[in-house]
């Protein structure tokens, strides 16, 4: 997802979007949607396999190791 799309989604949720990094915006969106604001907080594993940010968040090695497939942010779904 591009930063423009992320900013648009954040604005639709009523969040301030100016001068925020991608990670900060995504965490704000996660929190506004009632999810834990965990995007790129250093986790190397994640049980939230339905998260639409998973592809950008979890390291590639974890995805390979656990055979997580799919295209994450583009479809909003990872498949095992």
DSSP string, 10-39: HHHTT---TT--HHHHHHHHHHHTTS---T
Is residue 34 within 8 Å of 54, Cβ to Cβ?
Answer: no
Whether 75 has a pLDDT exceeding 90, the answer reads no
Give me the pLDDT at residue 55, please.
74
| Tokens standing for residue 61 | 């090695």
Q: Confidence class of residue 43 from pLDDT cuts 50, 70 and 90?
A: confident
What single DSSP character describes residue 54?
H
Q: What are the pLDDT digits (tens) for 15-34?
A: 988 878 889 999 999 999 99
- pLDDT at residue 46 above 90? no
* Confidence (pTM): 0.70
Domain boundary assignment for the chain: 3-32, 42-80
| DSSP, res 6 | H
- 45 versus 36: the higher-pLDDT residue is 36
């Amino acid at each position: 997802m591009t930063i423009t799309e992320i900013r648009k989604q954040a604005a639709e949720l009523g969040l301030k979007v100016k001068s925020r990094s991608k990670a900060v915006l995504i965490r704000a969106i996660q929190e506004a949607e009632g999810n834990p604001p965990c995007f790129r907080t250093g986790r190397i594993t994640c049980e939230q396999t339905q998260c639409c940010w998973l592809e950008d968040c979890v390291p590639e090695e974890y995805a390979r190791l656990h055979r997580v497939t799919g295209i994450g942010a583009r479809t909003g779904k990872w498949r095992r």
